[in-house]
Amino acid sequence: MKQLIQNLTETFSPSGYEDAIRDLILAEIKPLADETRVDTLGNIIARKGEKTSNGQRVMVAAHMDEIGLIATHIDEAGFVRFTTIGIPFPRYLLGGRVRFASGVQGVIGSEKPDKKNEIPPVDGLFIDVGALNKKDCPVNVGDVAAFDRPFVEMGTRLVAKSLDNRAGVAVAIETMRRLGGGPNEVYFVFTVQEEVGVRGATVSAYGLDPQVGLAIDVTPAGDTPNSIRRDIALGKGPAIKIKDSQMLADPKVVAWMERAAEKAQISIQREVLTSGSTDARAIQLTRSGVPTGGLVLPCRYVHSPSEMMDYGDVENAVELLTAMLNGPIDLG
């Protein structure tokens, strides 16, 4: 699965520009799925299994887009001003390298370099693509860029840009590979535009009208020096969502997930997130409502060019999700 994660994270596909990552995922899952299709917005919908009398129609969402930047102005000296796609944090931007869809590379610089201890706002940053002037600049207004960083292994830790949420995509793909002939009809949905408002999950959930929903995503770890007080750490297992800023996980789904983890002897954590949300919010609120939960992967330095995860957490997420979907789903 490490090679898959490397291929996924190193693929350029910010929100709204998911063509490359969609092609990569389709090539991986077509041999694994009973049916695949791409909807109007660009979500991949892959069905695995047929629903039996004691089965459920389940939607498992993993967003395939990543945060990015978009050019808003080219000045006379050829420097590129930009705004964000999603929420790249300014503290991670300065000095970072980016690549545009055209292949043009750039370095992020800032105004007022004498104020070296300040974190500049996005409107005080620019991208230097090495242009001599505006006419020489190979970037146009509206061109989209993403972080440009390779995948790296550091012992059991994985470091890459866009582990949010390409690691979740890998978990979904590997679960499809392992899933046997259980009673459930499982729709693995690789969603677009999550980072700009869970747009892909909103339309795909409406179309599928699932009986149970799950979203796979990342959650910020609280295990670095003087970190925020969060009981989430790398290497202690995947986490089960209890609450985030925009949804409360269904307690029946939480209990089902916890029972599955206990039976499979998989260590888990419990997540209460005070800011941010996932595709689970959109699934939960579709049509007349769906019992929904979240399986989240602990991640350091979220929305940075060098996100970090523990590979054991990723493997255990696959084990847990497979155990959950292989048998009858009891939400009683």
Q: Which residues are catalytic?
A: 194
Distance between CA atoms of residues 154 and 133, nearest Å: 41
Retrieve residue 154's tokens. Answer: 């550091």
Ramachandran category for residue 16: left, alpha or beta (phi over 0 → left; psi -120 to 50 → alpha): left
From the list 166, 211, 160, 209, the residue with the least C-alpha distance to 191 is 166
From the list 195, 218, 224, the residue with the least C-alpha distance to 282 is 195
From the list 185, 212, 204, 178, the residue with the least C-alpha distance to 320 is 178
* Alpha-carbon separation of residue 110 from 71, 90, 114, 118, 226 (angstroms): 15, 11, 10, 11, 27
Side chain identity at residue 262, one-letter code:
E
